[in-house]
Chain A
Amino acid sequence: MSEASAMRGPTTGAWEDLARSASRPGETAAGGESLRQLLCLSVDGSPYAVPIESVREIVRMRKITPIPRVTRRVCGVISLRGEIIQVLDLRLRLGLSAFEATKSSRIVVVQVDDGRVAGLLVDAVQEVLRVGEEAIGAPASSDVQALVEGLCTRGEEFVSLLDLERVLELEDDA
């Protein structure tokens, strides 16, 4: 399914407009430098971001069917209109405490360039940030797993831009 039609899915709700406005192509800042649009996520109280072009769909929490034997790395699978997609707990993936569902919890379905798909469990989806490419700085050196590819600012706080290619790389040790 193409990204565009996924965005039009019935479950996306108000995020539809948000995502559509964010993914307007060819938009540049006044200075002419290219802008990146990042979807901000809240994970265990901290802000993270993923490139909006990698986001296929945002869905509310739903029943996740566990996959035996691999539950520590993948929470399970959901069915997205018949497509079966693995869901990762982003908190666990980032080395934080395990996820607990709340009203604001969402599953962000992402797809990276090589076609790999996954759902990411997050505590909340916040907003779309537009930042110039040059405003994205190097990640903190303390990031041992190298899951963060850059940092940008939102007001006073830093937002960690996730390297989705890396996030979706799980060792096959099943």
Chain B
Amino acid sequence: MTRRKVQTRRRSKADREFVSEAEEILEAMRADLADLSDRLAACREPDPELVNSLFRSAHSLKALAGMFRFDPIQGLSHRLEDVLDGLRLGRVPLQPALLALIDETVALFAALLERVGDPAAIEASGAATLELTERIAAAASARPEPQDDFASLDLDPMMLRALTEYEEHRLRENLRRGRHIALVQMAFDITRFEEGLSQLGGAVRENGEVLSTLPSAGDVPDSQIRFALLVATDLDAESLAAHLDLPDAEIRTVRASASPAVPAEPAAGGEQAGAPAALREAESEEAPAQPAFTDLESLKSISDTVRVDIRKLDDLMNLVGELVIQRGAIGDLIARLSSQAGTARLADEFAKVHKSLDRKLRELQSAVLEVRMVPLRQVFEKVSRVVRRLRRDLAKDVELEIRGADTELDKLIVEALVDPLMHVVRNAIDHAIEPPEERRARGKAQSGRIAIDAFQRGSHVVIAVRDDGRGIDTERLRAKAEEQGLVEPGALLSEKETLDLVFAPGLSSRESVTETSGRGVGMDVVRANLVALGGLVDVESTPGRGTTISMTLPITLAIIQSLIVGAREQRFAIPLNAVLETMVVDADAIQVSEGRELLNLRGEPLVLRRLADEFGLQTGAAAERPFVIVVGIGEQRIGLVVDRLEGQQDTVIKPIQGPIQELRGISGATDLGDQDPVLVLDVTALVEDAGRRREAA
């Protein structure tokens, strides 16, 4: 097994691995702690999922420290796990003092990590570790909370007894909050019950919290198995049934919603143990969308992973890029050799070698690109953490649905995506989703929904954020744009053009500035960030029904295929992912209308831009039958008129260094191997400019 191999290698390497993995866990703990203390400061309900996540982190840390035989951390994290377990079971109350203690423990972990590999320093911190360990142990043994009386519940005592301590705690918690408690029962075909059960669980979770899932007795044929889900929800049994829309599910009220229950009376019951081993762990409503990995699995995946500095990958990428360029140069040489009589045969053999080199190089290139790809999952997890926090802070009921978390993108793009995506989601919660009472009045489900969908489309990835909120009020948007002088009063704008105003600088669609969004930076920044990555953002909205913001991004920024074109005497590269088609046109096929040149492209007018005019190229003659390259990003497209097509090449786009920073219409340059750099066109900017010019006209 990989793990063993790692251990028998040089100690220092194992140490490094331990430290980097442990640091990752600590990082997650710090984030959860910060969230938790925010909530505590705001006097809100502790989020059970946060406590669970902390508990899992402590557990992973303990297992990791044990694996690497790092005793001080193992001992300390064991104690921490105890106290967090107490916390999540409600045995230990959540207090600022306890959070401070956990904070202190995390800080000590970090200090210990720094000393890994230095036994003397570890030894020296022994006393502090011991002292903290004792304080945590004391905190963990705090007295248990008195039991609630579950007797008032219309629930089979057998079922009550089967609840785990955690499940009991969640039940008690929900009773205290006065939510409806319902029992949802459903029978499944025994061969496929897992699928059905997870469907049912998913549907229920959209409307509440699943407190426990247990097999239940009942009159069912042998080929079927029946399950009972104990559910806490804001809906009564009838509306829950309507929301679930599962005719086969039997729904029964266990306790109707009431004013918060009378404070717990000391009662019988005491500690109960022994739920069926399977199906024990209740999932709270905030559980991440993917099934939780067991700790064993997650540790294994950690040890199979090499963490690499992204800069090393950049270097590697650059090297591959240079190799690709050299390959092009060799190709040119071969062409010259084969054109000469004396060397033609040699050139043939050379070409064969070149071809296999070419193939290997492509494999290398895609392997390196592959290494840089990471799933969007990590970003989405950050987003769902923020959503959890926001929905309390803003007192809005919002559910987040995420699909396509496995879609992969270049690491650098994923990093750069975090802020724009976060902004869009915040906007949706803050501006789009109505407060619960308003939603009820409009006949919508009380809780708003935000769905994030990620999927690959060609060489791009699309991330669509859809909400079912109030939609964009185009009239008000337009009024504001006119007020700010962005639009001439009375100017004729299409629906789409009006919607696009949300991306105009300084326009925030809601009048009140809230802390969550609307600080003056808005969708214009989102758009600028995405465009800087070679991407684009689109908006669609239906008043009263919701808004969809789609962000389109290239999968990688590294090596891209480009079309090399010539305009007069100069060459330009156009990223192939922006090219829709190319064609030769006769001069008389081009029509002039309102000062613009248009081409009839299968019945649709296509605005043409002559690259030579665009860039003021004068020397050299224009071709009689020029080529039109149809480029487009998203919905918009234009035709670039060029004189020559010179072929397709792999290009590594490099930034242009020098005194002039802003080169409109040019995104960089590339060296094709002949020391004569070719400028790469910024298609997004050219398309935008065309749009702007039309507005001006």
Partners in one complex: yes
Which B residue sits closest to A170, measured CB to CB? B659
Per the bound structure, the CA–CA distance linking A87 and B660 in Å amounts to 10
Chain A residues, Cβ within 8 Å of B677: 65, 77-79, 84
**Which residue in B654, B657, B659, B678 is a CB contact (below 8 Å) of A88?**
B659
Give 1 or 0 for each of B653-697: 1 = CB within 8 Å of chain A CB.
Answer: 011111111111110111100011111000000000000000000
Chain B residues, Cβ within 8 Å of A67: 656, 660, 663, 666, 679
**Which residue in A79, A85, A174 is a CB contact (below 8 Å) of B658?**
A85
- A118–chain B nearest beta-carbon distance, Å: 5
Tell me which residues from 309 to 352 in chain B have a Cβ below 8 Å from any Cβ of chain A: 318, 321-322, 325
Chain B residues, Cβ within 8 Å of A170: 659-660
**A-side interface residues, number (CB < 8 Å):** 29
Chain A residues, Cβ within 8 Å of B671: 79, 82, 84
Any chain B CB within 8 A of the CB of A168? Answer: yes
Chain B residues, Cβ within 8 Å of A119: 658
- A103–chain B nearest beta-carbon distance, Å: 19
Any chain A CB within 8 A of the CB of B591? Answer: no
A85 near B322 (CB under 8 angstroms)? no
B660 near A174 (CB under 8 angstroms)? yes
A172 near B660 (CB under 8 angstroms)? yes
- A15–chain B nearest beta-carbon distance, Å: 19
Any chain B CB within 8 A of the CB of A83? Answer: yes
Chain B residues, Cβ within 8 Å of A85: 656-658
B660 near A83 (CB under 8 angstroms)? no
Given contacts A62-B675, A79-B676, contact A86 B615 (CB under 8 A): no
Per the bound structure, the CA–CA distance linking A117 and B655 in Å amounts to 12
Pick out which of these stretches binds chain B: A68-76, A135-143, A150-158: A68-76
Any chain B CB within 8 A of the CB of A134? Answer: no
Chain B residues, Cβ within 8 Å of A118: 657-659
B570 near A74 (CB under 8 angstroms)? no
B655 near A174 (CB under 8 angstroms)? no
Per the bound structure, the CA–CA distance linking A25 and B288 in Å amounts to 59
- A82–chain B nearest beta-carbon distance, Å: 5
A82 near B654 (CB under 8 angstroms)? yes
B658 near A74 (CB under 8 angstroms)? yes
Per the bound structure, the CA–CA distance linking A88 and B660 in Å amounts to 10
A174 near B662 (CB under 8 angstroms)? yes
B669 near A168 (CB under 8 angstroms)? no
Per the bound structure, the CA–CA distance linking A174 and B661 in Å amounts to 9
Which B residue sits closest to A116, measured CB to CB? B659
Per the bound structure, the CA–CA distance linking A85 and B657 in Å amounts to 5
Per the bound structure, the CA–CA distance linking A82 and B617 in Å amounts to 25
Any chain B CB within 8 A of the CB of A169? Answer: yes
Any chain A CB within 8 A of the CB of B652? Answer: yes
Any chain B CB within 8 A of the CB of A13? Answer: no
Any chain B CB within 8 A of the CB of A63? Answer: yes
Chain B residues, Cβ within 8 Å of A73: 659-660
B664 near A69 (CB under 8 angstroms)? yes
Per the bound structure, the CA–CA distance linking A119 and B676 in Å amounts to 15
- B565–chain A nearest beta-carbon distance, Å: 14
B322 near A82 (CB under 8 angstroms)? yes
Chain A residues, Cβ within 8 Å of B570: 65-66, 68
B656 near A84 (CB under 8 angstroms)? yes
Chain A residues, Cβ within 8 Å of B221: none
Per the bound structure, the CA–CA distance linking A170 and B662 in Å amounts to 11
- B39–chain A nearest beta-carbon distance, Å: 44
B669 near A169 (CB under 8 angstroms)? no
Per the bound structure, the CA–CA distance linking A77 and B615 in Å amounts to 15
A84 near B657 (CB under 8 angstroms)? yes
Best-buried of A62, A85, A169 by chain B (most CB within 10 Å): A85
Which B residue sits closest to A84, measured CB to CB? B669
Best-buried of B318, B616, B657, B671 by chain A (most CB within 10 Å): B657
Per the bound structure, the CA–CA distance linking A118 and B657 in Å amounts to 7
Tell me which residues from 25 to 71 in chain B have a Cβ below 8 Å from any Cβ of chain A: none
A68 near B615 (CB under 8 angstroms)? yes
A65 near B656 (CB under 8 angstroms)? no
B675 near A69 (CB under 8 angstroms)? no
Tell me which residues from 621 to 678 in chain B have a Cβ below 8 Å from any Cβ of chain A: 652, 654-666, 668-671, 675-678
Per the bound structure, the CA–CA distance linking A68 and B611 in Å amounts to 10
Given contacts A82-B652, A82-B671, contact A63 B676 (CB under 8 A): yes
A82 near B658 (CB under 8 angstroms)? no
Chain B residues, Cβ within 8 Å of A65: 570, 669, 676-679
Best-buried of B570, B652, B668 by chain A (most CB within 10 Å): B570
- A96–chain B nearest beta-carbon distance, Å: 18
Which A residue sits closest to B656, measured CB to CB? A84
**Which residue in A74, A168, A174 is a CB contact (below 8 Å) of B664?**
A174
Given contacts A82-B652, A84-B669, contact A68 B659 (CB under 8 A): no
**Which residue in A70, A78, A82 is a CB contact (below 8 Å) of B660?**
A70
Given contacts A67-B679, A79-B675, contact A84 B660 (CB under 8 A): no
Per the bound structure, the CA–CA distance linking A123 and B686 in Å amounts to 37
Per the bound structure, the CA–CA distance linking A168 and B665 in Å amounts to 22
Per the bound structure, the CA–CA distance linking A93 and B664 in Å amounts to 22
Give 1 or 0 for each of B110-135: 1 = CB within 8 Å of chain A CB.
Answer: 00000000000000000000000000
Chain A residues, Cβ within 8 Å of B617: 68
A77 near B658 (CB under 8 angstroms)? yes
Which A residue sits closest to B653, measured CB to CB? A84
- B563–chain A nearest beta-carbon distance, Å: 17
**Which residue in A66, A82, A84, A86 is a CB contact (below 8 Å) of B659?**
A86
- B307–chain A nearest beta-carbon distance, Å: 26
Which A residue sits closest to B570, measured CB to CB? A66
Chain B residues, Cβ within 8 Å of A69: 615-616, 663-665
A63 near B669 (CB under 8 angstroms)? no
B654 near A86 (CB under 8 angstroms)? no
- A8–chain B nearest beta-carbon distance, Å: 17
Which B residue sits closest to A86, measured CB to CB? B658
Per the bound structure, the CA–CA distance linking A68 and B660 in Å amounts to 12
Chain A residues, Cβ within 8 Å of B670: 84
- B392–chain A nearest beta-carbon distance, Å: 45
Chain A residues, Cβ within 8 Å of B659: 73-74, 86, 88, 116, 118, 168-170
Please list the 3 inter-chain residue pairs (A to B) with the smallest Cβ-Cβ separation, ordered nearest first.
Answer: A86-B658, A68-B615, A79-B671
Known A79-B676, A87-B658; 5 more pairs at CB < 8 Å: A65-B678, A77-B656, A77-B677, A84-B670, A86-B659
CB within 8 Å of B: which residues of A? 62-63, 65-70, 73-74, 77-79, 82-88, 116-119, 168-170, 172, 174
- 28 inter-chain pairs at a CB distance below 8 angstroms, sorted by A residue, are A62-B675, A65-B677, A65-B678, A67-B660, A67-B663, A68-B616, A68-B617, A68-B665, A69-B664, A70-B663, A73-B659, A82-B325, A82-B652, A83-B657, A84-B655, A84-B656, A84-B657, A84-B670, A85-B657, A86-B657, A86-B658, A88-B658, A116-B657, A116-B658, A116-B659, A169-B659, A174-B662, A174-B664
